[in-house]
Structure formats: structure tokens, C-alpha cells
Amino acid sequence: MAKSTLSFVCQNCGAAYNRWQGKCESCGEWNTLAEEDASGSVPVSIRSKRKGRTFALESLAGKSPDAPRLSSGMTELDRVTGGGFVRGSVLLVGGDPGIGKSTLLTQATSLLARAGHRVVYISGEEAVAQVRLRAERLGLSDAPVQLAAETSVEDIVSTLSEGAVPRLIVIDSIQTMWTDTVESAPGTVTQVRASAQALIRFAKKTGAAIILVGHVTKDGQIAGPRVVEHMVDAVMSFEGEGSQQFRILRAVKNRFGPTDEIGVFEMTGLGLREVTNPSELFLSERDLGTPGTAVFAGIEGTRPVLVELQALVAPTSLGTPRRAVVGWDPSRLSMVLAVLEAHCGVKLSGHDVYLNVAGGLRINEPAADLAAAAALVSSLVNAQLPTDAVYFGEISLSGVVRPVAQTPARLKEAAKLGFQRAVLPESARGDAGGDAGLSLNAVNSLTTLVAEIAARGSRRGESSAPAEKNATPARFRRGEG
């Protein structure tokens, strides 16, 4: 009998060590090492003793049929997956507790079951009665979804192998599954990896699509070994703030579709409602006539999205001013503030700066630099920006406004929602086209935009001397405001 060898595995990143230590050197987390058996994940009694078989090799030339897709019946979910679930694919869905993962999957499975497909929902965290209560609350209790409360992977595979192959299987969640092939507690790195591998093997063999629900850590990463994200075909993140009714389904990895698409949902008393026009929803409660607000025309995947950026610049009483940002990259905000001080003479070292993306959406593209800078300067000088204008453009470290991609789509979305003008990079004027119907205000440098906003504040009586269009206002250089 082989001697048992113990190792200490980090439950956050999966790194293995020969002895216990308080801090994982790979990910930097404390108290995440757990003792596991590393002598061999599969016992000798169940190891395969047959010799390897030969298989046919094929060339790159030839035609392969397109992978058939199964539409979920939810337009936003199909948009993120790339048009539906591919036969034999495995998807990993992660999100904060209570964000609505189970609600989303309950609605999707109910729609597929009503369409005549065999759908199985296996819960390892809730009893069957609890899943039924959720379905009754959502008005989906009449959907022919097959339910089970089980955590043993071997029992699940054996049960699903009987009868017709299910078209969709939901495992909620992968952290609660366990397999007899490894000697570790459920939820450990070894168990999660082995359980996921067994379910993926079943999906590839039978052609059933499987959705694995995963927990997330405190920093938003899916808990368990990162190798699971490499094993599955798609990784989706369900995001949203608890105080907001909006939910964003974002594709992080997708072998069968785009990785930059998002699906927008609204949480209601009857479950998640699809939002076909997220721009109109994000701007529904917009603060008109308030300094420090600017509308950003962004792109999420192939969809243009208009969202409001809110900024507040206030004098500070602290030695180190605060810099708080929600929904945007904090390092990007620091860069914009540095460019404003270095090239535009806007002194912000004595002010607290707060920036918020309204609606709970998280912006990742650098095209929001121009809108953020406009909102910051507007709040500093207490100048109201035009309510019918949108802003987009990337700011370089030299203060030059650089062009961004898909300018016509941004302008078309703004014109559809009733906006009359757009502030964009000078070099993007040629790509704008003449069919958008907007008045274009092209700026070449950030200094030009700052001078225009300062002049607007001067006309409101905030300054005694008007600012020139292409010159930095003197009161910025003095640090007033």
C-alpha cells in the first residue's frame, strides 16, 4: 500500500507546500493553507488497469459542422453566451451572495423546460422545498423542471445517465460537490477540482450543457482553484450593488462567443426583468442642472451604453485628501487628476475627490477619461455642463485627447435618446459621419475643455474674469476654486 503523503494546499489559489505556513507566498492571503492528501487523488482500487487505446488523427483541412446552440429564451442571457448554450459546453457563473444567481438560473431553466427540453436543477445548498418556494414566488412552479438536492458527483452522474440526456444541467454550487476519488473535505481545492473534472467529462461525453455556480471571495474572484476557470468553456460574472436594482451579467471567458458582452437585468419582486435599452434605464433618474455630472457614451461589447458620471470635489480638512471612486478604475482616476494638475493648472491637492458611476455599472474602457475630467472640473468651479451633451475620449499623459473605437455607434445611441451635441476627440471627427444629427464639439487637448468649462462657470458669476478658450484660467493656477 502506498504511503500517504500530506501537503498543505492554499484554498484561495491552489498552491501546494510541504509544510504549513501562515501566509501563502503565491497569492499573499493569510490562513488559507489546509492539509490534504497528495499521495494520489485516485485510490488504487478504482484506478484503471487497462492499457491505452489508439485513436484516429485528423488533419486541419475539412469541414466541421457548427456547434448547435440552445436558446435560453432570455435575450440578455443569450447575448452574453454568444447566442445560446452550446451542446456539451460547461459554464461557470460566479457572483456575490444574494445577487440573484439562483433566481436567474431558475428563470432560464423554467423557460427551457416549458419549451419541451429536459432540464435538471441540482442544488447542493438548498432543499427541494426551498427551490420550490423560490419558483412559486417567481410564478414558475408549473414549469416541468426536474429538481434534486444532492452533493455526491458519482450519484449525480449515475442518475443523469439514465433515460434521455438532459439538454441543460444546473449545479448549485460546485463548492458543495464531493467525489469519492479524493480524500478531502467538500469545498477544498482538491474536491472542487476533481468534482468539476468529473462533471466536465460527463458533459463532453453526453453532449449536455452544464452550468456550474461558484462562490466568490471577498475581492470578487471565484473561490477555489483557478484551474477550474481554465477547464470550463465560459466564465460569467453576475455583478451588481445590493442597493441598486440593476444586475450586470458579464462574460469573462467564452470559447464560443465574445468576452466583452454584457446583459442587463432589473431585480423586481417577480424576479429578474430583462432590460433591452440599458441607456434609457441608467439615465432615468438623472440629475439635470447639477454641476459635476456628465453623460458618458460608452461601448460594452457590441452594445453602446450611455451612463451618467457623478463627481464631487470639495475642500478637505485632512492632511491627505481622499480619493474615492465607485464603478471606475481608481488608478485611472489618479491619472486624470495628475494630468489636470500638470497640464491644465487645476490644483486639486487640497480637495477631496469622489467619483461615481450611476446605476451600478462598472466601466472598464479608457474612453471615459474625458467625461470624468469634465465632471471633475464642473464640480470644482460649480459650472453646469450642457444637459444635452455626451462626452467620450481617452486622455494621454501629455493632455492630448486621443480617439476611441466605434464612434458612430456612440453618436447614434446618443441621438436616439435625444442628445443634441457630443464632445469628442478632434481626430475622431472624420469617423463620426454625418448621419448622427449631433452637433460635434471636437477638442484636441484637455486644456481646451477645461477652459470652456471654466468660462461657463465664470459666466455664472463664479469668477471675476472670463477665461480664454485655449488658455488655462488664472484661478486654477492659484489653486482657487
Q: Is 99 annotated as a binding residue?
A: yes
**Comparison of pLDDT for 11 and 439, the residue scoring more:** 439
Counting residues of the chain whose pLDDT is more than 70, the rounded percentage is 86
Q: Is 95 annotated as a binding residue?
A: yes
Q: Is 97 annotated as a binding residue?
A: yes
Residue 101 C-alpha from the chain's centroid: 14
**Comparison of pLDDT for 461 and 134, the residue scoring more:** 134
**pLDDT at residue 2 is higher than 80:** no
**pLDDT at residue 201 is higher than 90:** yes
459 three-state secondary structure: helix
Q: What is the full DSSP assignment across 208-224? A: -EEEEEE-B-TTSPBSS
Q: Is 359 annotated as a binding residue?
A: no
- Residue 45's pLDDT is 44
Helix 446-459, helix 330-343: angle, nearest 10: 80
Q: What is the pLDDT of residues 66-118, one digit of tens each?
A: 557 899 999 999 999 999 999 999 999 998 888 889 999 999 999 999 999 99
pLDDT bucket at 195, cuts 50 / 70 / 90? very high
C-alpha cell at 164: 434521455
Q: What is the pLDDT of residues 113-150, one digit of tens each?
A: 999 999 999 999 899 999 999 999 999 999 999 999 99
How far apart, in whole angstroms, are the C-alpha atoms of residue 449 and residue 455?
10
Q: Is 100 annotated as a binding residue?
A: yes
Q: Which fold has domain 281-477?
A: Ribosomal Protein S5; domain 2 (3.30.230)
Radius of gyration of the chain (CA): 27
Hey, where are the domains in the chain?
Answer: 6-40, 69-276, 281-477
Q: Which residues contact 265 (CB under 8 A, 6 or more apart)?
A: 76, 100, 104, 246, 247, 248, 249, 272, 273, 274, 275
pTM for the predicted model, two decimal places: 0.74
Q: Is 102 annotated as a binding residue?
A: yes
How far apart, in whole angstroms, are the C-alpha atoms of residue 419 and residue 294?
12
Exposure class string for 10-31: b at 16+ Cβ within 10 A, else e: bbbbbbeeeeeeeebeeeebee
Counting residues of the chain whose pLDDT is more than 90, the rounded percentage is 50
How far apart, in whole angstroms, are the C-alpha atoms of residue 175 and residue 196?
9
pLDDT bucket at 477, cuts 50 / 70 / 90? very low
**Comparison of pLDDT for 65 and 186, the residue scoring more:** 186
Q: Terminus-to-terminus CA distance in the chain, angstroms? A: 78
434 three-state secondary structure: coil
Q: Which fold has domain 69-276?
A: Rossmann fold (3.40.50)
How far apart, in whole angstroms, are the C-alpha atoms of residue 352 and residue 343?
20
Is residue 184 within 8 Å of residue 224, measured between CB atoms? no
